[in-house]
Amino acid sequence: MRSDLHVATTGSDRADGSAESPFRTINRAAELARPGDTVVVHGGEYREWVQPRRGGLSDRRRITYTAAPGEHVVIKGSEPVTGWERVGGDVWTVAVPNTLFGASNPFAEEVDGDWIVYADQSVPKKHLGDVYLNGTSFYEVASVDEVTDPPLRTQVVDHWTGTLDRVRDTAQTQLVWYAEVSAEETTIWANFPGTDPNDELVEVNVRRSVFYPTEHHVDYITVRGFELAQAATPWAPPTADQPGLIGPNWAKGWIIEDNVIHDAKCSAVSLGKEKSTGHNFATLRRDKPGYQYQLESVFAAIQIGWDREHIGSHVVRRNTIYDCGQNGVVGHLGCAFSTIEDNHIYNIAVKREFYGYEIGGIKLHAALDVVIRHNRIHDCSLGTWLDWQTQGTRVTRNLYYANSRDLFIEVSHGPHLVDHNVLASRVSLELFSQGGAFVNNLFCGTVSLDPIVERPTPYHVPHSTQVAGYAAIVGGDDRYIGNLFLGDDPARAYGPGSTRPGRRQVGYGTSGYDGHPASLEAYLELVSDPTKGDHERFTGVKQPVYIRDNVYASGARPFEAETGATVLPDGDASARVVDEGGEVFLECHLPAAFDDARVPVVSGLDLERVRFVDAEFEEPDGSPAVLATDLVAADKTSSNAYPAGPLSTLVSGASRVRVW
C-alpha cells in the first residue's frame, strides 16, 4: 500500500508523519519509508545528512523524496556560527566545539588522495572545511597572518594543458579563512571586509554529504525538487571511495531530478565507486602507480557484483549544479548504464584552491552505455572528461562554452559517439583515445590528439561490464562526418609559453590525422607483410581513420585523404555562443559556399566497426545508433541531406538561433 509521509520545520519526530502531523526531520521519514512511499518535504531549511535506510524494489516501486509542490526546500550540510569576536580590522574569530562536527571534523581533514597535485610541498594542504558569508564560500589560507593580509591571487596555469584558467574576482579573494583544531574545539579566523559577521548569515561545513546512504544497494530512490548545498565532500579519485553531496553509494536505479545543487567542497553528484575495491592505495602504499590500482579496481568490482542487474542505470536530469571544487557529476564503475541530461552545470573547479587530474563538470570512468544528452556546461575548468572504458557512451546535443577545455576522452577504445554538440571554448576536444565517432558537431577551438601507449586499458563485451580484453591506445580508428570546424592560432588557445608532449598533435580541424590510412582495406594491406611476426607487423602502423564530408573555415584544415571536404574562404566565417542568462544563442556568419556542403542523416550502419573491441555503434539495446535529432531537438528524417554542424536549419549568412 502506497502512502505519503510528510516532513515540515514545524513538525515533530514523535508525530505520525501525516499531512496534519508531520515529522520534523527527513531522516525520521527515511526510517519509516517503504517501497512505493513518497516523502513530501515542506518548505524551509533542513540541516541534516539524509541517509535513506532502504530503497525501492523496482522502477515502479521506488521510494520518492520530493519537495512539496510550489515550496522551497533547502537541505544543507553546514551549520550557522555566531559569536564572532573582532581581532582587528576586518578579521574576526570564533571557537566552536568539535562536538558540532560529530565523528569527522572537516577542518581537520585534508583534501588529499590519489591523482591530486600539490606542486609546492612547502604550502599546507587544503581542508574539507569551508566558511560561507550569505552563501558565498571563502578561500582557505595558510596562516592567521594571511587572514589579516590576504595574498593576491593571479591567473593559474592548468598543469595538464598549459591553458590559463580564470579565477574569481579580486574582491572575493579577500574572503579568506584559517582554522586550528585542538582536542576540544576548532578556532576559525576569517576576513569579512566591511562586514560584522554577527549581523549576517555565516555558516561552516559540518557534514560530509547531504543526501547519501551509508549502506550499499539502497536502490530505486528518487530525489526531486530540493536545493542541496554546502557539504564537506572529500577528493574523489577513481581509485577511492567517491562520496558526493548527493548520490546512491553503489546502488541501482536512482533518479536525481529538478534540484539545485551547489557548494560541494569536491563533488556534487556522485555515481561512483565504493571503498572495498580500493581506497587511495597509490597515495598510502606508494608501491605502484595509481594506474595499476585503477586497473585492479575494475576486476575487484566484478567480483562484488558490478553488472547491469545490480549497479548503475541512474538518471540525473534537469538539475542546476554549480560552485563545486572538483566535479559537478563524478563516477567510476557505478555510473554505468546511466543517463545525464538537461542539466545546467557551471563554475566547477574554477576556484582553484586545489588541483588534480580528476576534475570536470562531468568526470566519469567506465561510462559504459552512458548517455550525456542536452546539458549546458560552461565556465568549468573542464567541461566533460570521459576517462577509461568510454564504451557505448554517447555525448549528444550538449552546449559547451567558456570552459578552459570542453571535452576530453582519455585512454578508451570506443565505440563512443559524439554528435550534434557545440564545443565553443578555446580547446574543443582532447582525444587521447581511439574508436570514436564525431558527427555533426561544431568545433570552435582546437582538436588535440595523443596516443597513450604506456597505459593499456580494458574493453568490454558490448553492453556489459564483462571484460573482453585490454590494449594500449595507439590513436586513430576515429570517424568524422558532417562536422563544422573553425580555426584560429593554436598558440592563443594554449597560451604563451605552454609546453605539450612532443607526440601530441594540436590544431584546428582533422589534419592531425595526416599519415593515417583512410580505410580498413588500406590498413590491412599495411599490416600484411608475411616476413614479419605476429605482433611485429602492427608495430608503427597507424590505425585507419574514416573522415568525410566535413566543413572547414578560418584556417581549420582537413585530413589529407578526406573525401568530400569543404574548405570555406579564409576570414569569412565565425560562430560564437551568446549567454544572456536564461537564454543562450548561437550566432553564426557563414559564406555562401557553406550551403553546398550537405550530408545525409548518419546511423550506426554508416560507421565502420571499432577495431580493437570489434564492436558496432549501437543503442544500448543493440540496435544501430540513429543520429537524427539535432541540437535543438529538431527531427532530421524529413530530408535526404542536411548542413554540417549541430543545427539542421543552419544556412549561410548571419544567423542567431536560441540553443538553450
Question: What is the pLDDT, as a whole number, of residue 559?
Answer: 98
Cell of residue 194, nine digits? 566591511
Q: Binning pLDDT at 50, 70 and 90, where does residue 498 land?
A: very low
Given this model, what pLDDT does residue 166 score?
44
Mean pLDDT confidence for 135-157: 83
Residue 435 has pLDDT above 90, yes or no: yes
Is 80 exceeded by the pLDDT of residue 208?
yes
Q: Does 484 have pLDDT greater than 90?
A: yes
- What mean pLDDT comes out for the span 227-255? 98
What residues does each domain of the chain span? 4-74, 221-567, 574-658
Answer whether residue 163 shows pLDDT above 50: no
Beta strand pairing call for 339-341 and 546-548: unpaired
| Grid cell for residue 8 | 515540515
The answer to whether the beta carbons of residues 236 and 42 sit under 8 Å apart is: no
Q: Which of 232-246, 376-390, 467-481, 525-539 has the lowest mean pLDDT?
A: 525-539
Range of weakest confidence among 30-44, 162-176, 377-391, 605-619: 162-176
Residue pLDDT, tens place only, 273-303: 999 999 999 999 999 999 999 999 999 999 9
Q: Mean pLDDT across the stretch 40-45? A: 98
* Distance (Å, whole) CA 380 – CA 348: 5
- Are the folds of 4-74 and 221-567 the same? no
Of the candidate ranges 148-157, 186-195, 267-276, 600-609, the one whose mean pLDDT is the lowest: 148-157
Count of H-run helices and E-run strands, the chain = 7, 56
If pLDDT is split at 50, 70 and 90, which confidence band does 230 have? Answer: very high
4-74 has which fold?
A: so0334 like fold (3.30.1910)
Comparing 78-82, 167-171, 433-437, 473-477, which segment has the lowest mean pLDDT? 167-171
Lowest pLDDT segment from 155-159, 506-510, 527-531, 602-606: 155-159
Q: How many Cβ atoms are within 10 Å of 34's Cβ, its own excluded?
A: 14
Strand 91-97 and strand 85-88: the pairing is antiparallel
CA 446 to chain centre: 20
User: What's domain 221-567's architecture?
Assistant: 3 Solenoid (2.160)
CA dihedral 538, 409, 297, 377 (to 10 degrees): -170
pLDDT at 169 over 50: no
- The pLDDT confidence band at residue 500, using thresholds 50, 70 and 90, is very low
Report residue 153's pLDDT band, with 50, 70 and 90 as the boundaries.
Answer: low
Section 102-127 average pLDDT: 93
162's CB contacts (< 8 A; 6+ apart) are: 494, 495, 497, 498, 499, 500
Q: Determine the Cα–Cα distance for residues 63 and 578; give it in Å rounded to an integer.
A: 40
Query: At which residue does the C-alpha cell 577545455 appear?
Result: 405
Computed over every residue of the chain, the mean pLDDT equals 94
Distance between CA atoms of residues 393 and 336, nearest Å? 9
Tell me the three-class secondary structure of 465-523, residue by residue. Answer: CCEEEEEEECCCCCEEECCEEECCCHHHHHCCCCCCCCCCEEECECHHHCCCCCCHHHH
User: pTM score, two decimals?
Assistant: 0.96
Return the pLDDT at 173.
Answer: 63
Mean pLDDT computed over 441-451: 97
Sign of the Cα torsion 17, 22, 28, 34 reads positive
pLDDT given at position 160: 45
Give me the mean pLDDT over the 179-199 stretch: 97
- Which has the closest alpha carbon to 254: 64, 396, 473, 42? 64
Q: Is a pLDDT exceeding 60 seen at residue 448?
A: yes
In the structure grid, which three cell numbers stand for residue 603, read together?
546511423
| pLDDT score for 164 | 42
Angstrom distance (rounded) from CA 576 to CA 573: 11
Residue 534 pLDDT: 87
